Chain A
């Protein structure tokens, strides 16, 4: 029994087809989605008292929180601690007023889902800043993701 002999031309053609298939496969693979900037919006207010004083908590959610990888909010003991918490998350979240004054921060959110529970508070009777934004600081990659300005009234 003899096998058909492949000539040089058919080998070259087969190589071309294989190359084209390879290129097709590579281009068809989904590109790693870039982490987006957070889309911040106000969800409400809450009133509470502590230390004999009354405060208003301004509450926010991040609309696209499900687009953040869980790894960004996992404990990162190899990175600098948050106060005495050596297991603070890889990414920290800070709340700022529209002029860049830091109002509050979160350093142990644990999960992207917890971006739905961002808040800052002011003493009751204090007029809050008109707009706030958040910044997610991925300390591992040294990348900051800044949100839109969100209202403080509804």
Chain B
């Protein structure tokens, strides 16, 4: 009888615990941001987020954040394999007094930034600051107006293969710093010091 009673108690406890623990929110492979979104949303196409930083926690590893419409989506730190793709839309980052994009991912993580306008507002720190990743590809983007004495358009400060194509890195204090490979069709001009691509490879 006691055994039955104990079993019933255990079963009740198990059911109660299961009921109380909320399921962790699943991360989507593709998420969306919009100029009129809200980071309280799930970042789906019909309920988009407002910022890249808000979307990134709802995006799965190897997933992709897309822009639904033009907007300023805020600076972001990327710590996993991820793509942010805003081609043809106008995904903006205004990085006043801060970095536009910081990549500080794992040594096997791959990051793609595409179709993004990263603007330093004249006092931003760095457009794209790479601390660690296996690879970072920047394509069809504009990185401009990072103009404090120590600002850089692209600053590679750790181990990562950084490749840039079809992008303009203009009007920064320093255009490039560290090992950056050009895959063609880049504009590197108007910077206090342009810097130079470490090498050039065929367009991707």
Is the beta-carbon distance between A153 and B73 smaller than 8 angstroms? Answer: yes
Report the interface size class on chain B.
Answer: 20 to 34
**A20–B54 Cα gap in the complex (Å)?**
65
The binding surface of chain B is classed by DSSP as loop
**A77–B191 Cα gap in the complex (Å)?**
56
Q: Tell me whether B9 is interfacial, beta carbon within 8 Å.
A: no
Question: Which of B34-42, B179-187, B196-204 contacts its partner?
Answer: B34-42
Within 8 A of A (CB), among B24-45: 37-40
Q: Tell me whether A121 is interfacial, beta carbon within 8 Å.
A: no
Chain A 72-109, CB-CB to B under 8 Å as 1, else 0, gives 00000000000000000000000000110000000000
In the complex where A153-B73, A153-B74, A154-B72 touch, is A127 in contact with B97 (Cβ < 8 A)? no
Interface residue tally for chain A (C-beta within 8 Å): 15
**A151–B36 Cα gap in the complex (Å)?**
9
Within 8 A of B (CB), among A27-55: 44-47
Is the beta-carbon distance between A45 and B97 smaller than 8 angstroms? Answer: yes
CB distance from B127 to the nearest CB of A (A): 16
Q: Tell me whether B60 is interfacial, beta carbon within 8 Å.
A: no
Is the beta-carbon distance between B96 and A153 smaller than 8 angstroms? Answer: no
Q: Tell me whether B51 is interfacial, beta carbon within 8 Å.
A: yes
Is the beta-carbon distance between A130 and B40 smaller than 8 angstroms? Answer: yes
Is the beta-carbon distance between A46 and B97 smaller than 8 angstroms? Answer: yes
Q: Tell me whether B136 is interfacial, beta carbon within 8 Å.
A: no
Q: Tell me whether B112 is interfacial, beta carbon within 8 Å.
A: no
Known: A130-B51, A153-B71. 9 other contacts (CB 8 A): A44-B96, A45-B98, A125-B77, A127-B57, A130-B49, A130-B54, A131-B50, A153-B50, A153-B51
Chain A residues packing against B (C-beta within 8 Å):
44-47, 98-99, 125, 127, 129-131, 151-154
